[in-house]
């Protein structure tokens, strides 16, 4: 199982354009333009009045069927920062509130964005998040990232062992909580009565974001773009995959799960372009089998003349996971002296294919070419 | 020397400068190898393809486990944990040695491999470079030992099949297949090239290494020929009008017989015509490494010299 890359919307949003730039060293704080903060944003060749400081929250909001990002911006205008809510169509990633956000009307206030982090959907289609200014995990409003008055909350710092989390998925139906601070995902049960940490899952790398899928599953994305799916009830790892082109200049990754379309959405935070333009992108993935590479066939039995020789290769996904079911065709490249006994082989569960070759009774050099056809639909 | 069936052109090297592989384990359900360095978890395939998927944390030290999986020893809790099948990461929720803490002096390191068989409840420890001690996981009692006399610690102890482990020496390249269950002893010996990390591929019975040059190498259990003896007639006197038995012996580096190799025979005249004929012009070495033939002497009473050449097809 891997993640099939459906499409990328990049850039998925943009900043307020200043329309002009100021030659270096850039505008003074007090100058002919009036009060200008963060002058580097409009110092040539840059010409945008905003830039991303940090992304507070990124989640799927099922009530409106939208992907939401709460972003704290550095700005040239007063008071030098801004917090906007960016809304994207969950179907195609189109920026729904473009006019509103560029007119700076999607303002959500500083407290939600500053104090709330890593929000994700949880039980009853509500949004839950950890907090920076307290140890509670709270139900928050999707618009403003502020705690909902009278909403659900829990404080793992009062549990045994005392815990403080930066990321959490809340399953109130089964009384479960899966939460992480950095390297481990802690799984708690009986969270409404006597919470008990019943298991831990070690993460493959530093966590970037955690997303809820269902009463059983959650998704993690690490700082190098590796995506894992976990069953937090058992708990165990269910799948490992990765974003497309993880080596590109990503600053951070954020992940959410679109429960309506059953697919993964990744927000890739990227540095601004040379002219200061926003380059963040949304990537849509469908969890299914996806072949990434076919390894070279390697002989696994003695290469003696006259022997029946077995050669093994692996069809694998982007994270090295075995991929099946595919048929791999083998072909001897001329000059051929022996005989390929099995011209094709089906992949086993771990993506392995095996070919049998009958060697002649004398020394020779042979080349086996392998080919697999992966159809994209 | 074991037969090297493959050497990669690809380099399986950790990404970060100065980083190096510390542990390698064949994961039977992946049909690939889990490689761990200071800053990297990777899957490595036989052809040298490498896919990085994470970064180790938590001071877990890898060791071999029954059935071809990794296990992890924690130096803080002295417990051994299994690995998750999907990504090979330690699963701290399960403990393989609940009844006996494996102390600091008995734990694995990147220099001396250890092995745990939680099905048969034993733990293999190397007290010195020539011996493996077998401990019971139930109470930490020593229940047996294997004297292998390799003269070097095995960097890896890896599962071969029920009751058997492979030991691989990093510097000398010595390898041993050992029984640790029914009657602890060395079952087979061999030699491969020196390596950085190594594992045993329990599916195809192969030794797999990543060298200091970052190339992957695959060795099968069969030994590679080192010498073919000159043809010897038995009895030594050769007669005409008769099949005279002649044989050669194929041996490995340490004089072991090498069965199943093709030998090609040829007659060559010495300053004249070829005299007589051979019964066969190609056959296989037998279980003792011998390939036999019949030289049929001339039937016309002629005399002279003739050379028999025997060659191995490599």
pLDDT one-digit tens code per residue, B156-211: 999 999 999 999 999 999 999 999 999 999 998 899 999 999 999 999 999 999 99
Residues 157-216 of A with CB under 8 A from B: 183-184, 199-206
- Write down the pTM of the prediction: 0.85
pLDDT > 70 in chain A, percent: 99
Nearest-CA distance from A160 to chain B in Å? 17
Whole-number Å distance between alpha carbons of A104 and A110: 14
- Which residue, among A184, A236, A302, would best test binding to B if mutated, counting the most B CBs under 10 Å from its CB? A302
Q: Residue B152: pLDDT above 90?
A: yes
User: Quick one: pLDDT at residue A305?
Assistant: 84
User: Quick one: pLDDT at residue B255?
Assistant: 83
Provide the pLDDT confidence category of residue A33 given band limits of 50, 70 and 90.
Answer: confident
- B227-312 has CATH 1.10.150.120 classification: no
8 Å CB contact of A299 and B218: yes
Q: Which range among A197-206, B30-39, B296-305 shows the weakest confidence by mean pLDDT?
A: B296-305
Mean pLDDT, residues B22-26: 96
CATH 2.120.10.30 residue ranges for chain B: 2-222
Tell me the Ramachandran region of residue B151: left when phi exceeds 0, alpha when psi lies from -120 to 50, beta otherwise.
left
Give contacts of B30 with chain A, Cβ < 8 Å.
320, 322, 350
CATH 2.60.40.10 residue ranges for chain B: 227-312
8 Å CB contact of B57 and A313: no
**Average pLDDT across chain A, whole number:** 92
B274-305 pLDDT, tens digit per residue, is 888 899 999 999 999 999 999 988 888 777 88
User: Quick one: pLDDT at residue A122?
Assistant: 95
**CATH code assigned to A2-288:** 2.120.10
8 Å CB contact of A350 and B31: yes
Which residue does chain A place closest to B52, by CA atoms? A319
Domain borders along chain A are 2-288, 293-372
Q: Which range among A107-116, A134-143, A150-159, A168-177 shows the weakest confidence by mean pLDDT?
A: A107-116
Whole-number Å distance between alpha carbons of B200 and B160: 7
User: Quick one: pLDDT at residue A40?
Assistant: 94
Candidates B8, B58, B264; nearest CB to A183: B58
Class of domain B2-222: mainly beta
**CATH code assigned to A293-372:** 2.60.40.10
User: Quick one: pLDDT at residue A376?
Assistant: 64
Q: Residue A140: pLDDT above 90?
A: yes
Nearest partner of B199 among B305, B64, B293, B101, judged by Cα:
B64
Which residue does chain B place closest to A201, by CA atoms? B91
Q: Residue A289: pLDDT above 80?
A: no
- For strands B69-74 and B80-82, give the pairing: antiparallel
B70-121 pLDDT, tens digit per residue, is 999 999 999 999 999 888 999 999 999 999 999 999 999 989 999 999 999 9
Give contacts of B10 with chain A, Cβ < 8 Å.
296
Which residue does chain A place closest to B90, by CA atoms? A202
Candidates A206, A240, A314; nearest CB to B87: A240
* B52 contact A CB<8A: yes
SS (H, E, C) chain A: CEEEEEEEECCCCCCCECCCCECCCCCCCEECCEECCCHHHHECCCCECEEEEEEEEEEEECCCCEEEEEEEEEECCCCCEEEEEEEEECCCCCECCHHHHHCCCCECCHHHHHHEEEEEECHHHCEEEEECCCCCEEEECCCCCCECCCCCEECHHHCCCCCCCCEEEEECCCCEEEEECCCEEEEEECCCCCCEEEEEEECCCCEEEEEECCCCEEEEEECCCEEEEEECCCCEEEEEEECCCCCCCCCEEEEEEECCCCEEEEEEECCCCCCCCCCCEEEEEEEECCCCEECCCEECCCCCCCCEEEEEEEEECCCCCECCCCEEEEEEECCCCCEECCCEEECCCCCEEEEEEECCCCCCCCEEEEEECCCCC
* A246 contact B CB<8A: no
**Average pLDDT across chain B, whole number:** 93
Q: Residue B32: pLDDT above 80?
A: yes
Question: Which ipTM score applies to this complex?
Answer: 0.84
Q: Residue A377: pLDDT above 60?
A: no
Which residue does chain A place closest to B202, by CA atoms? A300
Provide the pLDDT confidence category of residue A1 given band limits of 50, 70 and 90.
Answer: low
For residues B51 and A319, the answer to whether their CB atoms sit within 8 Å is yes
Cα angle A202-A204-A208, degrees, rounded to a multiple of 5:
100
8 Å CB contact of A298 and B30: no
Mean pLDDT, residues B121-146: 96
Which residue does chain A place closest to B87, by CA atoms? A240
* B41 contact A CB<8A: yes
Provide the pLDDT confidence category of residue A324 given band limits of 50, 70 and 90.
Answer: confident
pLDDT > 90 in chain A, percent: 79
User: Quick one: pLDDT at residue A283?
Assistant: 95
8 Å CB contact of A204 and B41: yes
- Which residue, among B1, B3, B77, B84, would best test binding to A if mutated, counting the most A CBs under 10 Å from its CB? B84
Provide the pLDDT confidence category of residue A178 given band limits of 50, 70 and 90.
Answer: very high
Place of tokens 């793992």: A156
* A247 contact B CB<8A: no
Which residue does chain B place closest to A239, by CA atoms? B86
């Amino acid at each position: 199982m891997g993640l099939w890359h459906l499409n990328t919307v990049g850039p998925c949003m943009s900043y307020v354009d200043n329309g002009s730039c100021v030659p270096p060293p850039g505008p003074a704080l007090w100058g002919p333009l009036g009060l200008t903060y963060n002058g580097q944003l409009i110092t040539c060749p840059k010409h945008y009045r905003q830039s991303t400081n940090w992304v507070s929250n990124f989640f799927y909001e099922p009530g409106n069927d939208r992907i939401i990002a709460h972003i704290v911006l550095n700005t040239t205008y007063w008071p030098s920062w801004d917090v906007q809510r960016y809304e994207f169509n969950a179907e195609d990633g189109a920026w729904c509130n473009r006019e509103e956000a560029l007119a700076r009307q999607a303002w959500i206030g500083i407290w939600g964005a500053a104090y709330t982090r890593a929000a994700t959907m949880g039980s009853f289609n509500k949004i839950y998040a950890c907090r920076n200014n307290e140890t509670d995990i709270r139900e928050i409003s999707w618009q403003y990232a502020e705690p909902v008055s009278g909403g659900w909350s829990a404080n793992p710092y009062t549990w045994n062992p005392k815990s403080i989390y930066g990321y959490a998925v809340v399953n109130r139906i089964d009384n479960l909580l899966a939460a992480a601070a950095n390297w481990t995902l802690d799984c708690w049960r009986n969270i409404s009565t006597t919470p008990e940490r019943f298991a831990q899952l070690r993460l493959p790398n530093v966590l970037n974001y955690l997303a809820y899928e269902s009463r059983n599953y959650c998704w993690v994305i690490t700082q190098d773009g590796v995506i894992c799916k976990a069953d937090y009830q058992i708990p165990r790892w269910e799948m490992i995959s990765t974003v497309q082109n993880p080596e590109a200049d990503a600053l951070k990754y954020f992940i959410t799960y679109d429960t309506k379309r059953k697919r993964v959405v990744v927000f890739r935070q990227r540095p601004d372009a040379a002219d200061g333009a926003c380059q963040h992108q949304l990537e849509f993935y469908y969890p299914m089998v996806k072949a990434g590479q076919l390894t070279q066939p390697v002989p696994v039995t003695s290469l003696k003349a006259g022997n029946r020789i077995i050669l093994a290769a692996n069809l694998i996904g982007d994270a090295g996971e075995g991929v099946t079911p595919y048929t791999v065709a083998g072909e001897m490249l001329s000059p051929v002296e022996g005989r390929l006994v099995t011209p094709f082989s089906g992949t086993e569960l771990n993506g392995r294919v095996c070919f049998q070759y009958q060697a002649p009774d004398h020394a020779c050099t042979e080349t086996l070419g392998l080919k697999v056809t992966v159809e994209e639909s | 020397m074991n037969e090297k069936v493959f050497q990669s052109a690809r380099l399986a090297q950790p990404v970060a400068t100065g980083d190096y592989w510390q542990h390698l384990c064949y994961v039977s359900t992946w049909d690939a190898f889990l490689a761990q360095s200071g800053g990297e978890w990777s899957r490595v395939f036989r052809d040298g393809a490498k896919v990085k998927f994470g970064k180790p944390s938590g001071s877990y030290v890898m060791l071999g486990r029954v059935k071809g999986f990794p296990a992890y020893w924690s130096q803080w809790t002295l417990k051994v944990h299994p690995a998750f099948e999907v990504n090979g990461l330690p699963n701290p929720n399960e403990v393989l040695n609940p009844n006996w803490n494996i102390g600091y002096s008995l734990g694995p390191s990147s220099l001396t491999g250890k092995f745990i068989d939680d099905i048969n409840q034993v733990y293999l420890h190397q007290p010195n470079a020539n011996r493996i001690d077998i401990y019971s996981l139930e109470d930490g009692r020593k229940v047996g030992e294997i004297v292998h006399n390799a003269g070097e610690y095995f960097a890896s102890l890896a599962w071969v099949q029920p009751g058997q482990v492979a030991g691989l020496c990093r510097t000398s390249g010595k390898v041993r297949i050992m029984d640790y269950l029914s009657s602890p002893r060395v079952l087979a010996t061999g030699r491969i090239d020196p390596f950085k990390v190594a594992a045993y591929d329990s599916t195809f019975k192969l030794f797999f290494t990543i060298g200091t040059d970052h190339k992957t190498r695959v060795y099968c259990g069969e030994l590679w020929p080192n010498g073919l003896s000159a043809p010897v007639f038995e009895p030594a006197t050769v007669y005409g009008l008769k099949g005279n038995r002649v044989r050669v012996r194929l041996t490995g580096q340490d004089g072991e017989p090498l069965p199943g190799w093709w030998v090609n025979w040829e007659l060559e005249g010495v300053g004249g015509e070829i005299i007589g004929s051979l019964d066969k012009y190609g056959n296989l070495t037998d279980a003792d490494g011998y390939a036999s033939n019949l030289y049929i002497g001339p039937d016309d009473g002629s005399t002279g010299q003739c050379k028999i050449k025997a060659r191995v097809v490599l």
